Amino acid sequence: MIGFQIHHRPRQVSDKLIRAFFDIPVANVSDCMMRITSGGPRLRPMHKSGRLAGPALTVKTRPGDNLMIHKALDMAAPGDIIVVDAGGDLTNSLFGEIMLNYAITRKIGGIVLNGAIRDAKDIAASSLPVYAAGVTHRGPYKDGPGEINVPIAIDGMVIHPGDLIIGDFDGFLCIKIDDADQVLQAALEKLKQEQITMANIAAGVHDTSWVDARLKSLGCDPTPQ
């Protein structure tokens, strides 16, 4: 029935790729995806420490209702990232201290909520990655509807069950399963080039000639008048 559906995840990104992406900055990966993929700046890290890297277990729920999030916590395998499209509404919280502690015992890899949390102090002290759009003390409803392991979208970023979700303190990002190998190679090369740049800065040999060259190409005289 539409609105009440619970599915198995048909496939998921490999553990090898999850490990490979774990220490790569999200900003580097985003650049390699041409800067057109994003879950939006509203969803911010609410936790103290910890990185996201794992397969998406998706939840689509009515704003203000967390029934299917509770079910997703029961279904999730260790390392899963529960990604919730709750419409971005901040009227009611969807996740708090009790669910946080249950998620930790279940060894969940992280929580991404296009919605609000409460018990923010407890979440802020935790190393379980939690991303959310806001905080409110008002509690949730538990009536549904909701769907699990269906395609969802957050600020235009489409997420399918099993896609790779990564996150750090710059935000989170979804990488399609079929794109992950290609994106990984590009991101590793990007990281290598940035490490060379940082070494050149430390050595005092950083080349910034590209700035004037770019200005000239835009018709701007780079020489101060």
* Topology, domain 4-185: Glucose Oxidase; domain 1 (3.50.30)
Rounded CA-CA distance 78/95 in Å is 19
Higher pLDDT, 82 or 36: 82
pLDDT in tens, 167-178: 999 999 999 999
Contact 54, 9 (CB under 8 A): no
Report residue 40's pLDDT band, with 50, 70 and 90 as the boundaries: confident
Q: Which residues are annotated as a binding site for substrate?
A: 96-99, 118
Q: Which amino acid is at 187?
A: A
Q: How many residues does the chain have?
A: 225
Instruction: Give the pLDDT band of residue 70 (cuts 50, 70, 90).
Output: very high
Domain layout of the chain by residue ranges: 4-185
Say if CB 174 and CB 56 are below 8 A apart.
yes
Question: Binding-site residues for Mg(2+), please?
Answer: 119
Residues contacting 149, CB < 8 A, separation 6+: 6, 7, 8, 9, 57, 58, 161
Binding-site sequence positions:
96-99, 118-119
| Backbone Cα Rg of the chain | 20
pLDDT at 142 over 90: yes
